[in-house]
Structure 1
Amino acid sequence: MNLQRTQLDLAPPAPRHPAALAALAAAQFTVMLATSIVNVALPQIRAGVGLSDGGTTWVVNAYGLTFGALLLAGGRAADLLGRRRVLMAGLTLFAVASLAAGLAGSSTVLIAARAAQGLGAAAIAPAALAVTMGLFPSGPGRGKALGVWGAVSGAGGAGGVLLGGVLTQAWGWPWIFYAVAFGTVLVLVAVAAFVPRATGREAGEFDLLGTVTVTLSLTCLVWGLTTARGTGWTDTRVVGALLGAAALLAAFVVIERRRPNALIPPRLFTTGQVAAGNLLMALLGSVWIALFFFLPLYQQQVLKMSPLATGAGQLPLAAANMLGAAAAPRISRRIGAGAAVTSALFTTALGLLWLSRISADGSYLGHVLGPSILIGLGLSVAFVQLTALSVDGVPGQDAGLAGGLVNTTRQVGGAIGLAALATLAGSVTTHASPRRPHLEALTAGYRAAFMVSAAILAVAALLALLLTRRAGRPRTATALATGPTGPTGPASEPRTAGIS
C-alpha cells in the first residue's frame, strides 16, 4: 500500500491539451448542431425543394437513421484504423455532404446529402470521444474534459435551433448547410493542427459480419419507428421493419458470442458501469432529442414566434447547459457520481413537468423560460456523468467502441423516444380537435409529450439510484486520481498511442 501511494505521489501530472480539447469539442458540437439546425427551417425547406409531408420528415430522419445505425461501426473503425485518422475522414465527408445539402435542387439530392452527413457524424462522434479519453487519463483532468464535452453537446442542440432560425430568416434555408460546411472545415483544420499525432493503432480484425448485422438491425429499428409517426404502428411495413430488427438483433447476439474479434466484446459490459451508463443514456436521449423537436414547434405554432425569436429563445437553455456542465465535475467530487446522476435526472424531470403546464394563450416568459433553465442545468450534469460512467475503466483497445456505443444508445434512444412521443402528441391533438380550438388541441399534445418525458426521466432517476450504487464509499466518475478499480487494473486506461 505504501509503495502504491509513493508511486501515485510521484506520478507525473496529467497532460494539458487545451487546444486539442477545443478542437475535439468543436467536432462534437458540429455533430449535435446538425441534429437540430434544420428543425426551424423545415417549412422553408419543404417549399424550396418541393417536399411532401413524408419527405419533410426524412430531412430529419435521413441524418438520424444513418448516424444511429453506423455509430458502432464508426467506433470500431476508429480503434482499428486510427482514431485521429477516422476523425479527420469523417469531418471531410461531413463538410462535403453539408455543402451538397445547401446546393441541392431536388428533394432526392437533399435527403441523400443528409444521409451522407449522418455517415460522417458516425465516424466523428466516437473517434473524437476516444481521442479525448486518450489525451486525458482518469482523474480531475478527464472530469474537466468531460465537462466541456457535456457543455458543447447540450449547447449543440439549442445552438442548432438558434443558428437555424437566424440563418433561415436572414438568408434562407441553404445557408444553414453552408454555415455547417464552413464550420466543419474550420474544425478539420483545428484537428489537423492541434490534435497530436501518435504512432500505432489497436491490433485486431474488423468484425464485418457483426457490423453488417447490427447496422441492418438498427436501420430497421430506426426506420420502422420514424415511419410509424406518419403511417401508424399497425402498418405492415412498420411491423415488418420492427420484426426484422428483432430477428437481426438476435442473430447479432449469436454471432458475437462465437467471434474472437467481436464488434461488441461481452467484456465491455462487465467493465465498470458501462451497462448502467448506456441504459440510462438511452432513456435520457429519448427525452433530449424530443425536447428540441417539440419546444420549437410550440414556440412557432402556438406562441407565433418567428424563426429568429424561436432560436433566440433557446439561449437561456444553452447557457444553463454550459453552466451545469462546468459544475458537473465539482458536483461529482462532492456527492459522488451516482448521486450526481440521480439528482440531475430528477432536476430535468421537474423542469419537464413544469413545462407540461404550457397553455394555448401562454407566453415565453411565463411558460418556457423558467423550465428551460432548470432543464438545461439537469441535462448537462446528467450527460457529463453518464458519458463518464459509460467509458470509465474501458480498456484502451475498446475506447472508440465505447464512445460509439454510448452515442448509439443516445441516438437510438432518441429515435425511439421521438417516434413514441410524436405519436402520443399527435393522438392527443387528434382526439382533442373536435372539441377544442386548433391551438388548444396542439398544446394538449405538446403537454402530453412533456409530461410523459418527465415520467421517463423520473423512472431513469430511480434506476440510477439502484444501478450506480456501490459498496463502500462512492467513487466518482470524474475524480479518479487514485487509479482505476476495474478488473483490468492500470491496463484498462485508454492509451494515447491509440490516437493515430
Structure 2
Amino acid sequence: MSASSSSTELRGRQWVILSLACLAQFMVILDVSIVNVALPSMRSSLGFSQTGLQWVVNAYTLTFAGFLLLGGRAADLYGRRRIFILGLALFSLASLAGGLAQTQGMLVGARAVQGLGGAVLSPATLTILTTTFTEGRARSRALGVWSAMAAAGGATGALLGGVLTDYLSWRWIFFVNVPIGVLGIVVARVVLAETRVETQRRSLDVAGALTVTGGLVALVYAIVRTDVYAWTSVETLVPLAIAAVLLGLFLVIETRIAAAPLMPLGLFRSRSVSGANVVMLCLGGAIFAMWYFLTLYMQNVLGYSPLVAGLAFVPQTVAIAVGAGISARLLPRVGARALLVVGPLVSASGLAWLSQFSATGTYVVDILGPGVLIALGLGLSFTPVTFAATAGVARSEAGLASGLVNTTRQIGGSVGLAALATVAADHTRSLLVGTAHTRAAVASATTSGFGRAFVVASVIAVAAAGAALIIPSIRQPAPEAGPAPPAGLQRASTATRA
C-alpha cells in the first residue's frame, strides 16, 4: 500500500470518527431542549403540576452537569472507546424507558438516567477527537464541526420536538434516540481504537460526584421554589442550606479526602482554564433560557402550534453553525480571547433587542433579527471557549478539562433558567395584581415578564465578555513540517501566550 493511499485511508477513518463523535454530542445536547415544545402534551398525558413539570427538564440537566466530571475522568482511566459505548447504551436505554413512561416518576427517573448517560458520553466524544486529531489546523476544524453540532443541538431540539409532537406523540422525542444509539454503538465498535491514560491508580471520586450533584439539585430546587415561596421562607432557606453544606463538603472531599480528586483545584491556576469556564458559566446562564421563553411566547402568546414554533427556530440553528464555522477559521489568527469578547457582546445586543418585543408582536419584527443575533454570538463563542478550556492541559487531564467546561455550561443553563424564570414570574405577577385577568392582560404581563428576564440575561452576557479578559491571548499557529507530537504535548508547546 502506498504512502498516499495510507494517508487517505487514515483521513477517511478520522472523519468517520468525527461524524460519530458529533452525532453522539448532538444527541446529548438535543435532549436538553427537545422536551420544551412537548411539555404541555406530557402534562396532560401524565397529570403533571406546573411545578412538577419543570423536573422533566431539570432531572436531565442536573444529573448531566453533576456527573460530567466523573464521566471525563472515567474515559481517561477506563478507556475512551469503552466509556463512549457504555454512555451511548445507557442514554439509549433511558430514552426507551422515557418513551414508555406511564407515570410522572417513571418519566422523571428516565430523564435523570438519560442525563447520567449523557454525562458519561459527552466528555468521551471530545477526548476521542483531541486524541484522534493531533495536527493543529485539523484539530481546529474538527473542534469547529463538533462545536457547531453541539450548539445546533440546543436550537434543533425545538424543531424536532415540534415535528414529532404534532405528527406522532411526545413519546417519540425519546424513541427517536434508540435506533440512532444502536447504530452509533455498532459503528463505534468498528472504527474506534481504545485509548486510556496509563496509571497504576484507577480511583474514581464517586463521593465528590454525589455531593456536587446533590448540592446543585438543592440549589436549583431552592431557586425554582421561589416562584411559590419567598427567599426568606423556610421552604427556600432549607434547600439553600443543604446546597451550601453539600457543595462545601464537595470542596473538602476534593482538597483533603479524595485519593484521586474529581476536580483537582490546581487546574484553576491556569488563567485559560478558569477564564474559559467563567465565560461558559455566564453564557449558559444568559442564553440557554432563551429557547424556553421563546417557545412559551410563541405558543402561549402568539398562538403558534408546536410545529410552527419549532420551525421558527431554524434561522437560529443556521446562525449557530455559521458562527462556529467563522470562529474556527479566525481562531488561529486572532486567538480565543478576542473571539470570546466579541461573541458574548453580539449575543448581549440580541438579548437587549429581544427584550423589547410585545404581546401583539410578529415573528419577523420581534423574533427573527434578535434571535439570529443571539445565536450568532453563541456560535462565535463555542469553538474558542472549548479550545481555551483545554489549551495547555496535560493529556492525562484531557477528560477532566472537557468534562469541566461541559459541566459549567449545564450548571449555568440550569441555574440561569431557574433564576430567569423566577424573574419573569415575579414581574408578571406584579403586573397582574389588582387587574382583571383577561386574555389580553395576561398575555401582555407574560410578555413583559419575559422581557425583564431578557434584560437580566443581556447583563449576564456582558459579564461573559468581561470574564474573557481573564484568558491570556492564545493562538494556534500553523503546524510545522514533520510528525505531529502527542496531543497533550502539542497543546502545551504550540499555544502562544501574550
What TM-score does the superposition give when structure 2 sets the normalisation length?
Answer: 0.89
Structure 1 residue runs of 5 or longer lacking an equivalent are 1-11, 495-500
Look up the equivalent residue of 2:361 and give its one-letter code: G
Aligned partner (choices 463, 474, 481) of residue 459 of structure 1: 463
Separation in structure 1 between the aligned mates of residue 252 and residue 277 of structure 2, nearest angstrom: 21
Deviation for aligned residue 1:262:
1.8
Deviation for aligned residue 1:68:
1.5
Query: Are 1:394 and 1:492, in contact at CA under 8 Å, matched by a contact in 2?
Result: no
Q: Which residue of 2 aligns with 1:363?
A: 362
Look up the equivalent residue of 1:221 and give its one-letter code: L
Query: Are 1:82 and 1:201, in contact at CA under 8 Å, matched by a contact in 2?
Result: no
Q: Which residue of 1 aligns with 2:188?
A: 191
Please identify, of 173-182 and 339-348, the stretch whose mean Cα deviation from structure 2 is larger: 173-182
Query: Are 1:228 and 1:419, in contact at CA under 8 Å, matched by a contact in 2?
Result: no
Deviation for aligned residue 1:493:
4.9
Please identify, of 286-295 and 23-32, the stretch whose mean Cα deviation from structure 2 is larger: 286-295
Is 1:439 the counterpart of 2:443 in the alignment?
A: yes
Separation in structure 1 between the aligned mates of residue 267 and residue 51 of structure 2, nearest angstrom: 39
Q: Which residue of 1 aligns with 2:311?
A: 312
Aligned partner (choices 36, 43, 46) of residue 46 of structure 1: 43
Describe the shift of the 1:40–1:140 C-alpha distance in structure 2 as closer, same or farther (beyond 3 A).
same
Describe the shift of the 1:489–1:172 C-alpha distance in structure 2 as closer, same or farther (beyond 3 A).
closer
Deviation for aligned residue 1:230:
4.6
Look up the equivalent residue of 1:374 and give its one-letter code: L
Q: Which residue of 1 aligns with 2:109?
A: 112
Describe the shift of the 1:223–1:182 C-alpha distance in structure 2 as closer, same or farther (beyond 3 A).
farther
Please identify, of 421-430 and 122-131, the stretch whose mean Cα deviation from structure 2 is larger: 122-131
SS at match of 1:359: coil
Deviation for aligned residue 1:56:
1.3
Separation in structure 2 between the aligned mates of residue 254 and residue 100 of structure 1, nearest angstrom: 36
Please identify, of 403-412 and 245-254, the stretch whose mean Cα deviation from structure 2 is larger: 245-254
| 1:369-402 Cα deviation digits (max 9, x unpaired) | 1112111211011121111111111111111111
Deviation for aligned residue 1:210:
3.0
Q: Which residue of 1 aligns with 2:142?
A: 145
Separation in structure 1 between the aligned mates of residue 190 and residue 405 of structure 2, nearest angstrom: 27
Describe the shift of the 1:195–1:19 C-alpha distance in structure 2 as closer, same or farther (beyond 3 A).
same
Separation in structure 1 between the aligned mates of residue 406 and residue 46 of structure 2, nearest angstrom: 31
Is 1:62 the counterpart of 2:54 in the alignment?
A: no
Query: Are 1:24 and 1:128, in contact at CA under 8 Å, matched by a contact in 2?
Result: yes
Q: Which residue of 2 aligns with 1:249?
A: 247
Structure 2 residue runs of 5 or longer lacking an equivalent are 1-6, 493-498
Q: Which residue of 1 aligns with 2:496?
A: none
Query: Are 1:38 and 1:161, in contact at CA under 8 Å, matched by a contact in 2?
Result: yes
SS at match of 2:18: helix
Q: Which residue of 1 aligns with 2:342?
A: 343
Query: Are 1:138 and 1:493, in contact at CA under 8 Å, matched by a contact in 2?
Result: no
Q: Which residue of 2 aligns with 1:285?
A: 284
Query: Are 1:150 and 1:381, in contact at CA under 8 Å, matched by a contact in 2?
Result: no
SS at match of 1:41: helix
Separation in structure 2 between the aligned mates of residue 137 and residue 69 of structure 1, nearest angstrom: 29
Deviation for aligned residue 1:187:
2.7
CA RMSD of aligned residues (A): 2.4
Alignment of 1:160-239 (within 5 A): 160-198=157-195, 201-204=198-201, 205-239=203-237
SS at match of 1:350: helix
Separation in structure 2 between the aligned mates of residue 57 and residue 374 of structure 1, nearest angstrom: 28
Please identify, of 244-253 and 21-30, the stretch whose mean Cα deviation from structure 2 is larger: 244-253
SS at match of 2:36: coil
| 1:431-456 Cα deviation digits (max 9, x unpaired) | 11245711110110111111111111
Aligned partner (choices 21, 25, 45) of residue 24 of structure 1: 21
Deviation for aligned residue 1:257:
2.4
Q: Which residue of 2 aligns with 1:430?
A: 429
Query: Are 1:222 and 1:412, in contact at CA under 8 Å, matched by a contact in 2?
Result: no
Look up the equivalent residue of 1:219 and give its one-letter code: V
Query: Are 1:23 and 1:194, in contact at CA under 8 Å, matched by a contact in 2?
Result: no
Separation in structure 2 between the aligned mates of residue 480 and residue 115 of structure 1, nearest angstrom: 43
Query: Are 1:395 and 1:492, in contact at CA under 8 Å, matched by a contact in 2?
Result: no
Describe the shift of the 1:138–1:240 C-alpha distance in structure 2 as closer, same or farther (beyond 3 A).
farther
Describe the shift of the 1:72–1:410 C-alpha distance in structure 2 as closer, same or farther (beyond 3 A).
same
Query: Are 2:79 and 2:195, in contact at CA under 8 Å, matched by a contact in 1?
Result: no
Describe the shift of the 1:490–1:421 C-alpha distance in structure 2 as closer, same or farther (beyond 3 A).
closer
Separation in structure 2 between the aligned mates of residue 345 and residue 33 of structure 1, nearest angstrom: 22
Deviation for aligned residue 1:253:
2.3
The count of residues paired between Structure 1 and Structure 2 equals 472
Q: Which residue of 1 aligns with 2:416?
A: 417
Look up the equivalent residue of 1:214 and give its one-letter code: V
Q: Which residue of 2 aligns with 1:6?
A: none
Q: Which residue of 2 aligns with 1:7?
A: none
Describe the shift of the 1:140–1:416 C-alpha distance in structure 2 as closer, same or farther (beyond 3 A).
same
Look up the equivalent residue of 1:451 and give its one-letter code: V
**% identical equivalent positions:** 42
Separation in structure 2 between the aligned mates of residue 432 and residue 88 of structure 1, nearest angstrom: 51
Look up the equivalent residue of 1:213 and give its one-letter code: T
SS at match of 1:273: helix
Describe the shift of the 1:235–1:169 C-alpha distance in structure 2 as closer, same or farther (beyond 3 A).
farther
Deviation for aligned residue 1:416:
1.3
Separation in structure 2 between the aligned mates of residue 492 and residue 260 of structure 1, nearest angstrom: 29
Describe the shift of the 1:453–1:276 C-alpha distance in structure 2 as closer, same or farther (beyond 3 A).
same
Describe the shift of the 1:207–1:110 C-alpha distance in structure 2 as closer, same or farther (beyond 3 A).
closer
Separation in structure 2 between the aligned mates of residue 238 and residue 481 of structure 1, nearest angstrom: 54
